[in-house]
């Protein structure tokens, strides 16, 4: 699968989802074009999905937050008769490279986390209305909604049949959401995940697999009533959205990508990508009204969208790029002023949504399986929100003092209130709290320095960077680090980094991604699943998989 995957789309290009909006209620119809697969070699029958279907869903969810903030309830349902969703397409999974499967599952998890959190974060309540078979990834779409309504027609069921059918596990948090979110009893969950046919009607309700079971004759009426109840409770009908205009983006022959605020430079021979974030050139909006007027062109939102796209592009399209180097350059004072408007107006829906977008982008960086390093060079603008990059990476290097022949300002770091609660990680604590897990007083010491432009000596003393080097050692130290990092086993690096990044409390989100990483990188490579006689390869052939019976 060498095709370049583009994560940018818009409603005029949707092939798999249809959106209808009636006042403060939106309905998302999943109506997958079976001939609209992202790659050749499979058809998306029975509303099954691949990455292309999920790219559209992710776009829908973002547009709901920004373009339709007046919507308080979003109903997800099928646009086809007799089937809700058959889950991830098996032929696609069977033919995909392991790296694509991993990144596909990671992206679908991030998408589901986004609409699952929409109720708490934005007051948008996602409701799943199930009519027809809802299996595997289809039920995982439902599980990420906050309310599930099931029709009782004698045939509609929910199921997680991956174990008996495919010798793998639900890949988008299914098992974790069943036990941790819906709190299904362990023995019942064991039964549920072991039967191909799934669970219907009253049993699905009794086992808490759904929230409501409705007679088929009253299904549409009940769904509409619940949606209206939730939408009215949200009270968003007076809001006016903004348009998420297309990103400014240019690809070069060498694989580099240039946006309006972000640049991605590739050195494929060395396996290194350098992502540079540029500070705004324009002044911050003076008022909230001006922020709304600028809309998607305001720097904080534009930068978040472009950085998000750049990270996804590197994840899926530059698989042999093992190291991502972050740089931030420009006038940090302008960054601070753009950020200050958002911080001072968190009661405004747009200012709040922009910070939520940054929270999601930073989490995306946390979950990116590449070695991450940040360079704080002369002229850098690691301030506030951008300083979070320093705490997301695996290592950071800061230039100490003035560099000979470099007339840019000395490297400084400035912390703001944004670094102390606005952007929690998946473990529900900040990156600084995670960094200083054993010395929580260090977080308080850092907090005492909010607004101070910290030089390398001060930043190092506060523990905000890994190393600080002067101009004599800088080039050699960075070169040695990059050469060493790219010489290590990518598998070992992925495992090491994933283990070290998520210290602290466990949450449903960390469990989903931790368990996902474990099963993907083991079960999805075992012959029992993907071998020539494995269940995934034999699916649909009429032959059962042949298993190596040894437990390991």
269 in the same domain as 147: no
Mean pLDDT of 114-134: 97
Nearest CA to 103 among 529, 513, 542?
A: 513
Judge whether residue 501 has pLDDT over 50: yes
173 in the same domain as 55: yes
483 in the same domain as 518: no
Note whether 45 and 10 are within 8 A (CB). no
- 294 φ, ψ to 5°? -70, -35
Domain ends where: 234, 259, 277?
234
Residue with tokens 């010489």: 487
Q: Specify the higher pLDDT residue, 280 or 541.
A: 280
What's the pLDDT tens digit per position in 16-67? 999 999 999 999 999 999 999 999 999 999 999 999 999 999 999 999 999 9
Judge whether residue 522 has pLDDT over 80: no
3-state helix, strand, coil in the chain (%, to 5): 45, 15, 40
Nearest CA to 350 among 342, 361, 339, 362?
A: 342
Angle at 93 between CA 183 and CA 51, to 5 degrees: 80
* The pLDDT value given to residue 1: 42
User: SS3 letters for 432-451?
Assistant: HHHHCCCCCHHHHHHHCCCC
48 in the same domain as 167: yes
Weakest mean pLDDT among 155-164, 240-249, 460-469: 155-164
Q: Is residue 450 assigned to a domain?
A: yes
Query: Which pair of structure tokens corresponds to residue 416?
Result: 């703001």
Query: Which pair of structure tokens corresponds to residue 191?
Result: 């039964």
Residue with tokens 């002369």: 378
279 in the same domain as 226: no
Note whether 54 and 107 are within 8 A (CB). yes
What confidence tier does 498 reach under pLDDT thresholds 50, 70, 90? Answer: confident
Judge whether residue 134 has pLDDT over 80: yes
* The pLDDT value given to residue 2: 62
- Distinct helix (H) and strand (E) counts, the chain: 23, 21
154 in the same domain as 260: no
Q: Is residue 549 assigned to a domain?
A: no
DSSP β-bridge partners for residue 19 = 28
Q: Is residue 35 assigned to a domain?
A: yes
Q: Is residue 241 assigned to a domain?
A: no
Q: Is residue 137 assigned to a domain?
A: yes
Dist. CA 158–CA 139, nearest whole Å: 6
Cα–Cα distance list, 524 to 266, 465, 493 (Å)? 30, 37, 19
Distance from first CA to last CA of the chain, Å, rounded?
A: 31
- 133 φ, ψ to 5°? -60, 130
Sheet holding 382-383, edge to edge: 382-383, 413-414, 453-454
* The pLDDT value given to residue 431: 98
Judge whether residue 515 has pLDDT over 50: yes
361 in the same domain as 282: yes
- 367 φ, ψ to 5°? -90, 5
Domain ends where: 209, 234, 259?
234
Tell me the DSSP string of 50-114. Answer: -HHHHHHHHHHHHHHHHT-TT--EEEEEESSSSEEE--B-HHHHHHS-HHHHHHHHHHHHHHHHH
Q: Is residue 65 assigned to a domain?
A: yes
Length of the chain: 552
* The pLDDT value given to residue 167: 81
Instruction: Give residues with Cβ within 8 angstroms of 364, minimum separation 6.
Output: 110, 308, 311, 312
Domain ends where: 181, 204, 234?
234
18 in the same domain as 118: yes
Q: Specify the higher pLDDT residue, 101 or 225.
A: 225
Q: Is residue 409 assigned to a domain?
A: yes
516 in the same domain as 409: no
As a whole number, the mean pLDDT across the chain is 94
Number of domains in the chain: 3
- 381 φ, ψ to 5°? -130, 55
225 in the same domain as 78: yes
CATH value at residue 160: 3.90.226.10
335 in the same domain as 431: yes
Mean pLDDT of 436-443: 97
Note whether 209 and 317 are within 8 A (CB). no
Tell me the residue range of the domain where 378 lies.
250-496
Q: What sign for the dihedral angle of Cα 380, 359, 510, 191?
A: negative
Note whether 465 and 398 are within 8 A (CB). yes
510 in the same domain as 491: no
* The pLDDT value given to residue 173: 85
Q: Is residue 223 assigned to a domain?
A: yes
Classify each residue of 295-323 as buried b or exposed e, where b means 16 or more C-beta atoms within 10 Å of its C-beta.
bbebbbbbbbbbbbbbbbbbbbbbeebbb
DSSP 282: S
Instruction: Give residues with Cβ within 8 angstroms of 321, minimum separation 6.
Output: 266, 268, 271, 272, 273, 314, 370
Note whether 465 and 397 are within 8 A (CB). yes
């Amino acid at each position: 699968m060498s095709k370049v995957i583009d994560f940018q789309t818009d409603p005029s290009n949707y092939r798999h989802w249809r959106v209808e909006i009636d006042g403060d209620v939106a309905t998302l119809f999943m109506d997958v074009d079976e001939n609209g697969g992202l790659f050749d070699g499979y058809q998306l029958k029975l509303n099954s999905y691949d990455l292309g279907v999920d790219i559209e869903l992710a776009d829908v969810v973002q547009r709901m937050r920004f373009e339709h903030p007046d919507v308080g309830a979003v109903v997800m349902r099928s646009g086809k008769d007799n089937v809700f969703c058959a889950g991830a397409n098996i032929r696609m999974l069977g033919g995909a490279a392991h790296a694509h499967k991993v990144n596909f599952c990671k992206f679908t998890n991030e998408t589901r986390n986004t609409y699952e959190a929409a109720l708490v974060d934005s007051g948008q309540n996602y409701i799943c209305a199930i009519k027809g078979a809802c299996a595997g990834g289809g039920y995982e779409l439902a599980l990420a909604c906050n309310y599930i309504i099931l029709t009782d027609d004698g045939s509609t069921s929910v199921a997680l049949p991956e174990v008996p059918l495919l010798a793998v596990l639900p890949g988008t948090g299914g098992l974790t959401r069943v036990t941790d979110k819906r709190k299904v009893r362990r023995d019942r969950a064991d039964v549920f995940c072991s039967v191909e046919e799934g669970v219907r009607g009253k049993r699905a309700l009794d086992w808490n697999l759904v929230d409501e079971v409705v007679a088929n004759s009253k299904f549409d009426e009940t769904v509409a009533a619940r949606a209206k109840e939730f939408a009215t409770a949200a009270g968003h009908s007076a809001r006016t959205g903004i348009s998420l205009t297309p990103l400014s983006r240019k690809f070069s022959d060498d694989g580099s990508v240039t946006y309006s605020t972000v640049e991605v430079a590739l050195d494929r021979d060395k396996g290194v990508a350098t992502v540079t974030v540029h500070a705004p050139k324009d002044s911050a909006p003076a008022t909230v009204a001006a922020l709304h007027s600028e809309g998607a062109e305001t720097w904080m939102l534009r930068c978040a969208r472009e950085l998000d796209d750049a990270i996804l592009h590197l994840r899926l399209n530059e698989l042999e790029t093992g190291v991502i180097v972050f740089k931030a350059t420009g006038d940090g004072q302008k960054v601070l002023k753009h950020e200050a408007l958002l911080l001072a107006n968190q009661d405004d829906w747009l200012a709040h949504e922009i910070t939520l977008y940054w929270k999601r982008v930073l989490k995306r960086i946390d979950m990116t399986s590449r070695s991450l390093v940040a360079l704080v060079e002369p002229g850098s603008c690691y301030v506030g929100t951008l300083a979070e990059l320093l705490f997301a990476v695996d290592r950071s290097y800061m230039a100490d003092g003035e560099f000979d022949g470099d007339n840019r300002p000395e490297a400084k770091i400035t912390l703001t209130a944004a670094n102390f609660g606005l952007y929690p990680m998946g473990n529900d604590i900040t990156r600084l709290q995670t960094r200083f897990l054993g010395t929580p007083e260090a977080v308080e010491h850092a907090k005492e320095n909010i607004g101070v432009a910290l030089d390398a000596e001060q930043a190092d003393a506060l523990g905000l960077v890994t190393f600080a080097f002067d101009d004599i050692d800088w080039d050699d130290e960075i070169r040695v680090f990059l050469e060493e990092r790219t010489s290590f086993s990518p598998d070992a690096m992925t495992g090491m980094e994933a283990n070290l990044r998520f210290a602290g409390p466990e949450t449903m989100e960390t469990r989903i991604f931790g368990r996902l990483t474990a099963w993907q990188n083991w079960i999805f490579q075992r012959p029992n699943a993907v071998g020539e006689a494995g269940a995934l390869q034999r699916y649909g052939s009429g032959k059962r998989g042949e298993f190596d019976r040894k437990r390991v």
